[in-house]
Amino acid sequence: MNEGFDDWVAITRTISRYGRHADQRRSADMADLFTVDGRMLMFRPRAVEPSESPQGRAQLIAAFDALAAFVATSHVLSPSDIEIDGDTARAHTSCMAHHISETSECRVRFTLADRYDDTLERVGTDWLFRERRKYTDWTETTPLRR
């Protein structure tokens, strides 16, 4: 295979592993997908400034641990648009993120329409997030049948 294709596959795997680890509540594994000083910027709908910006392993794990509040999640990713330039890459991925919680009356689905704009860098043989910007375009809360 050619090097460009191998890099594209490795970057795609990093992005998909992030979603899989999120759905499995594996916060430490999610943080392992970032460079040592990697950061994530999280923007709420219509926000100009991020609501959260954890940087470094400990802060990232603490932020990702918030997913434990849900009984289930499902992060459905679109194909990523990836541009590679040497040991740096940029990627854009859309995601429908479904978060299920339970109340005494019903189950509730909280859905977010997210966009990720990523800067990744090659570290050894891996591609890791140096910066991950998550933009939430809209949210919806829906009661579900049990």
CA of 15: how far to CAs of 18, 66, 86, in Å?
5, 19, 18
pLDDT in tens, 89-123: 999 999 999 999 998 889 999 999 999 999 999 99
Number of domains in the chain: 1
Instruction: Read off the pLDDT of each residue in 1-22 and give the average, rounded to a whole number.
Output: 92
Distance CA 91, CA 139 (A): 23
What's the pLDDT at 2?
72
58: enclosing H helix or E strand: helix 57-64
Q: How confident is residue 1, by pLDDT bands cut at 50, 70 and 90?
A: low
pLDDT in tens, 45-68: 999 999 999 999 999 999 999 999
Query: What does the mean pLDDT of the chain come to?
Result: 96
Q: Tell me the CATH number at 122.
A: 3.10.450.50
Distance CA 84, CA 87 (A): 8
Per the structure, the complete domain to which residue 59 belongs is given by: 3-144
What's the pLDDT at 123?
97
- pTM of the predicted model over 0.85: yes
Q: How confident is residue 17, by pLDDT bands cut at 50, 70 and 90?
A: very high
Query: Radius of gyration (Cα) for the chain, nearest Å?
Result: 16
* Residue position matching structure tokens 């090097």: 3
More confident residue, 145 or 73: 73
Q: What percent of the chain has pLDDT over 90?
A: 93
Q: How confident is residue 146, by pLDDT bands cut at 50, 70 and 90?
A: low
